[in-house]
Amino acid sequence: MRPELILLGLFAVGLAGATELETESGGHTKFRAVGQAYPADSIYHDVVGSSATDLSASLRLKFNARAGRWSLDSAYQLIGVRADSLEFTALPDDDRRLFQLTKVIDSSDDAAALHRLDRLSVGYTSEKAVVRFGRQALSWGNGLAYAPMDLVNPFDPAAIDTEYKTGDDMLYLQYLQDNGNDLQAAYVLRRDPASGDVDHDESTLAVKYHGFAGQGEYDVLLATSYGDEVLGIGARHAIGGATWAADLVFTKTDNDTYIQVVTNLLYSWVWGGKSMSGGLEYYFNGFGLRGPYDLPSIQANPDLALRLERGELFAPGRHYVAANVLVEMSPLWTVTPTLLFNIEDPSALVQLITSYSLGDNMTFLASLNLPVGPNGSEFGGIDAGLPGRYLSRGVGVFAQLAWYF
């Protein structure tokens, strides 16, 4: 039986005992253009030339329903892409997910169209507990740019549009205590992409306790993810007018035990009549290599390579600093300079992100991306393992217009 029919059937059971049905619907369309330059020694230059232009349009339709203690959350996506760099552009797929809710409508060498359900879950909420099953998003941890405790579909630190996190198929439970502390658990069921069978060694089973202690908060995480054992400890505390947070994560694989640490400071202030907020973060990645990097070295480290391939990790190095300052130029316009800095390379990605509200239901988002660093560095271009060729990019631009309804 199709999974969407199972979830709708569960909601229908709850609806049968409810006296009132509440519904909510909406959505958005987004039109995006991305331009990317490639230096002459880039391996991407060999494929697409000195530059690439990627255009995309997407439609997202949301429908949520409440019937007593039962709820149904859904989101449908229609995506069209025309991209010079489609060959190395990751499009959404459900190869590892429990439910196959993505279908490619058409594809060619430089274009693709697909539609999918990015959310489809049924939940039951009591006074102290929440149970939800289906495709949904889950975000854990205190990381701002780098989030080692976020085990399920973390954002790329360089991502510009982070409005919606990709959903995954899971059973989620939360129990709320009288003192405000809560216990959360998630079982993310995945398939082996080779066999198509549900495989516990591909899945994630995690339990996280969140508590309050004085003026601070803490988290304790226990998990198995892709067959590895994970222990995480997090803390958050107010320091004057700022907020300090940190996560410490231990991961035991078949090969070794790795440590990841992230700590950051958030602060808001007013300067020159403009509201500002800034974040400064340090990240230690125990899975990472000491630069300079080359593709064969990364591939020879399976614990690092697998995480990069699966989109769990985006950093091949060990020591990073991330910083950003959001400046409210006006009530409608913000500018956010952002820095991702690999300390050991050294190399960096500098981003200038701006957002402008064109009305109650329309927003323009843009970014200028400038990688800085020598050949062989992360942002200057990792050695591709071929003579004189690097995984390097030049200046990039991003522009997006979103209309909400």
Q: Would you give the DSSP letter of residue 200?
A: G
Enclosing domain of residue 67: 3-404
- Mean pLDDT taken over the chain: 94
pTM higher than 0.85 for the full model?
Answer: yes
Per-residue pLDDT, 7: 65
Q: What is the share, in percent, of the chain residues with pLDDT greater than 90?
A: 91
Shortest CA distance to 351 belongs to which of 365, 367, 373? 367
Q: Which DSSP string do the residues of 135-156 spell out, in sequence order?
A: EE----SS-SS--TT--SSPPP
The domain total for the chain is 1
Q: How far apart are alpha carbons 197 and 139 in whole angstroms?
A: 26
CA distance 43 to 37: 12
Buried b (16+ CB within 10 A) or exposed e, 109-135: eeebbbbbbbbbbbbbeeeeebebbbb
Using omega within 30 degrees of 0 as the cis cutoff, is the peptide bond preceding 331 cis? no
Note whether 157 and 314 are within 8 A (CB): yes
- Which percentage of the chain shows pLDDT scores above 70? 95
List the CATH number of the domain containing 155.
2.40.160.100
pLDDT band at 290 (very low <50, low <70, confident <90, very high): confident
> Which of 318, 312, 303, 191 is CA-nearest to residue 256?
303
